């Protein structure tokens, strides 16, 4: 028998959590990009990753956004 496994669906971020999270650099609100599993700070031009449902709010872990 050959068992196949499927990748679990991406978890949605709790809307209440999104209401209280802010960018640690600018203190501005963040936009949630479900497709890339990132929290976007437009002011800082950074994308904070969400790993296993946990936002990683460290600037050194964020991806820089292109202009």
Task: Note whether residue 22 is domain-resident.
Answer: yes
pLDDT of residue 10: 52
Q: Which two tokens stand for residue 8?
A: 């679990």
Distance separating alpha carbons of residues 50 and 17, to the nearest angstrom: 12
Model confidence at 67, pLDDT cuts 50, 70, 90, reads confident
7-66: pLDDT as tens digits? 344 568 888 999 999 999 999 999 999 999 999 999 999 999 999 999 999 999 999 999
Print the domain residue range for 32: 15-64
The answer as to whether 8 is a domain residue is no
Residue 7 inside a domain? The answer is: no
Cα separation, 58 vs 6, whole angstroms: 30
Whichever domain contains 28, its CATH number is 2.20.25.10
Q: Taking 70 as the threshold, does the pLDDT of residue 4 lie above it? A: no
């Amino acid at each position: 028998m050959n068992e196949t496994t499927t990748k679990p669906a991406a978890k949605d971020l709790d809307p209440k959590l999104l209401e209280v999270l802010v960018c640690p650099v600018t203190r501005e609100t963040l936009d949630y990009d479900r497709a890339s599993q990132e929290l976007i700070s437009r002011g800082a031009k950074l994308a904070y990753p969400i790993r296993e449902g946990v936002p990683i709010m460290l600037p050194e872990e964020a991806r820089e956004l292109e202009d």
